[in-house]
């Protein structure tokens, strides 16, 4: 779907705000499971608002259209604590192009956003194999850089039914 060009990537994830990390890991795992099951991954955003996680998909005809729809959704989400935008893309590393499910996002007023992903390969039979751990891809645009948290709730998005503190495998999640 979209590209993210980087010089290199690493499994070392720098300090990412806890709320953002939980959102990114959650949506990245959801996307990985969809791709692994052979389903098409429609780009989507996740908004963490108080103790809820809201999802909205962004089908579009162009890469620019997907990013514009995600940015619009996030800009309308005053009151969100963090957001993530997830898509099936690729990274370019050392003269190689690697397929990757990518989640990028940010927090209100938090400076640069962050992008993480699962690099994957598709074999000749169509079977998909993912790296076992997410990879830090790099900084990303932060659609919430000028937003403030806790202003008012977002409307017209679909709830995922899970709260950010229940996200499996995320730091601080209930075991």
**Tokens for 68?**
């514009």
| Structure token digits, residue 58 | 């962004």
Number of Cβ within a 10 Å radius of residue 145: 14
* pLDDT tens by residue, 153-171: 444 444 444 444 444 443 3
Predicted confidence band of residue 3 (pLDDT cuts 50, 70, 90): very low
pLDDT for the residue numbered 154? 42
DSSP string for 18-56: HHHHHHHHHHHHHHHHHHHTT-----EEEEEETTEEEEE
Which pLDDT band holds residue 110 (cuts at 50, 70, 90)? confident
**pLDDT of residue 151 exceeding 70:** no
For the chain, the maximum distance between any two Cα atoms, rounded to a whole number of angstroms, is 50
Q: How confident is the model at residue 53 (pLDDT cuts 50, 70, 90)?
A: very high
Is the sign of the CA dihedral 108, 113, 119, 122 positive or negative?
A: positive
Q: What is the mean pLDDT of residues 85-114?
A: 91
Instruction: Tell me the HSE value of 6 on the side-chain side, using a 13 A CA sphere.
Output: 22
> Averaged over 56-62, what is the pLDDT?
89
Banded pLDDT at 8 (limits 50, 70, 90):
very low
| Chain-centroid distance, C-alpha 63 | 15
> Which 8-state DSSP code applies to residue 167?
-
13 band by pLDDT with thresholds 50, 70 and 90? low
Q: Provide the pLDDT for residue 153.
A: 43
Share of the chain above pLDDT 70, in %: 76
* Cα dist from 1 to 14, 88, 100, whole Å: 26, 6, 10
CA dihedral of residues 130, 52, 1, 144 (deg, nearest 10): -120
Q: Compute the average pLDDT of residues 71-86.
A: 90
Q: How far apart are CA 89 and CA 156, in angstroms?
A: 27
**Which is more confidently placed, 146 or 129?**
129
Q: Could you tell me the pLDDT band of residue 93, with boundaries at 50, 70 and 90?
A: confident
Quick one: pLDDT at residue 78?
A: 74
């Amino acid at each position: 779907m979209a590209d993210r060009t980087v010089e290199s990537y690493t499994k070392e994830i720098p300090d990412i705000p806890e709320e953002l990390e939980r959102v990114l890991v959650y949506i990245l795992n959801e996307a990985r499971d969809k791709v692994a099951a052979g389903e098409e991954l429609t780009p989507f955003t996740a908004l963490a608002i108080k103790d809820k996680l809201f999802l909205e998909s962004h089908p579009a005809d162009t890469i620019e259209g997907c990013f514009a729809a995600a940015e619009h959704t996030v800009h309308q989400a005053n009151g969100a604590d963090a957001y993530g935008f997830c898509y099936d893309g690729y990274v370019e590393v050392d003269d190689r192009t690697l397929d990757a499910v990518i989640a990028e996002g940010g927090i209100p007023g938090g400076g640069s956003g962050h992008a993480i992903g699962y690099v994957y390969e598709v074999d000749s039979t169509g079977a998909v194999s993912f790296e076992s751990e997410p990879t830090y891809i790099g900084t990303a645009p932060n659609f919430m850089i000028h937003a403030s948290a806790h202003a008012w709730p977002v409307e017209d998005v679909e709830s995922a039914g899970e709260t950010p503190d229940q996200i499996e495998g995320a730091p601080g999640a209930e075991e």
